[in-house]
Chain A
């Protein structure tokens, strides 16, 4: 069984950041859960703060450069994602949203994902269901049933740890079933796919004529 690549994306801004703290705990829990199923795992942490300028440039120019290009590639090829955002004005942060706005269409089709968020008060806990789940449904990711929300007061509470472990176990199950090589959800063809293996023109002609059967 090949090594499972898990990418943890966190959008915390302050140092230290409770968002990064939750991201670290989730990353550790996912590694433990995948290993418990007898698979090898590699967890990579990506912080968005150092990419903020590159992300704004991407919005304006339409292309990624340097570290951002490499990071977007890592997300595209990840077997699973853990995404963690602070709550800003009752939703995910703008920086978090920009990152997923510039991802190429289809980049995380079918990718299992844990959605997680932090806030200063538990009254924001529904952000997972009102903001994060619709976003990742739109991106056609496979969201695990357990989301993880942590208000300041939750850190140090064993119930948070329990939810983290539950979400990690659900994610681990999704990426260790079967050979792991067959995606659960069929991914849309990307520009990269098309460059590597172009659709023959005769087929493009048929599709232009309304024949959508591949």
Chain B
């Protein structure tokens, strides 16, 4: 399929501002699973979870969460938003996500991110001031761990972890093909450069900040993707986030979402909902408004491969989130149709394990 449409969660445990009630960790973790199952049920393509190691989040250990969801679903792609490439040992990432491939028959990929909470880094023996360098060195090692095998394994020495001698991570990637990797960054051109260099995907979270920021980063990534010879700029693999809240009656959508917006952990108590919807990609309104706004992202990002929506943060109760997913499911055919319209043939489809395996298999030519 051309574009994959799904949802991503950061796993925040936030009081519902309309009731004052805070879900327990257990409730929030179980709710996350229900949300993922519902995402598959309404026809979405991707469920992605964040990784956090500090309160108020329950998003540690993403691969356990994804494996569990994988056992309860059939089809949906399981991803992260993001996997912390800075504070997680790349050896563990190599093992965990390859294991997840085997368990889910290749239904997973992952997105690299750095994490922006200074105190979390020293808990893992790292320093946030080395964030970019950690992301670069750790990922370079991860690639080698996934791509090099044989009797000799990997010999490696770097700045940030113990050297390796003849090391092979287990299990090997499914069918010898590593999970597809996205690199997520809001405002670090170095990460767009990294994604372009390797010909990996680039994802902009595209919430909280003006669309112009996303456009700048996506354009840089596209230019550099072409520079490094992976294809034309419009063939680079781009993903965008987005934040929506829907109701059949657009005024009712605004009325219902406003208390969650006003008290939201990231942007609450600042600009009004009206100002924020004008300045950022947040869309609160009728399903038709969400459809039109979402399809307009292509005007500055080009034709792209993955659209993920944030629907479950800021204390929204599970029941509301599931209703939002029903509404998203209803506009899904129109979204797909709209994204397919005018999409040039040379723009690649969203990568999957099957497409990567096919690309890695030599074409048999009849003699």
Contact = CB atoms under 8 A, between A and B. Distances in A.
Contacts of A65: 210, 271, 275, 279
A126 interface: no
B293 interface: no
A207 interface: yes
Contacts of B33: none
A38 interface: no
Given A63-B209, A65-B279, A195 B220 contact: yes
A61 B271 contact: yes
What's the dominant secondary structure at chain A's contact region? Answer: helix
B190 A199 contact: yes
Contacts of B209: 61-63
Contact of A194 (B134, B189, B268): B189
A1 B311 CA distance: 55
A159 interface: no
A186 interface: no
Given A62-B208, A199-B193, A210 B270 contact: no
Nearest to B223: A198
A204 B190 contact: yes
B132 interface: yes
B213 interface: yes
Nearest to B136: A208
Interface in B102-144: 132-134, 136-137, 140
B216 interface: yes
B26 interface: no
B220 A198 contact: yes
B20 interface: no
Interface residues of A, number: 21
Contact of B267 (A61, A191, A195): A61
Interface string A111-122: 000000000000
A15 interface: no
A207 B132 CA distance: 10
Contacts of B269: 60
Nearest to A209: B159
Q: Which of A56, A59, A191 has the most CB of B within 10 A?
A: A191
A201 B197 contact: yes
A195 B279 CA distance: 21
A197 B224 CA distance: 10
B187 interface: yes
Interface string A188-214: 000100110011110011011110000
Given A62-B209, A195-B220, A209 B158 contact: yes
Contacts of B208: 61-62
B194 interface: yes
A121 B213 CA distance: 46
B212 to A, nearest CB: 9
A57 interface: yes
B134 to A, nearest CB: 8
A63 B213 contact: yes
A62 B266 CA distance: 10
Interface string A50-64: 000000110111110
Contacts of A191: 187-189
A207 B133 contact: yes
Nearest to A56: B270
A181 B123 CA distance: 46
Contacts of B267: 60-61
Contacts of B159: 208-210
B224 A198 contact: yes
16 contacts: A57-B270, A60-B270, A61-B208, A61-B267, A61-B270, A65-B279, A194-B190, A198-B192, A198-B193, A198-B224, A201-B197, A204-B132, A204-B136, A208-B134, A208-B159, A209-B137
Interface of A: 56-57, 59-63, 65, 191, 194-195, 198-201, 204-205, 207-210
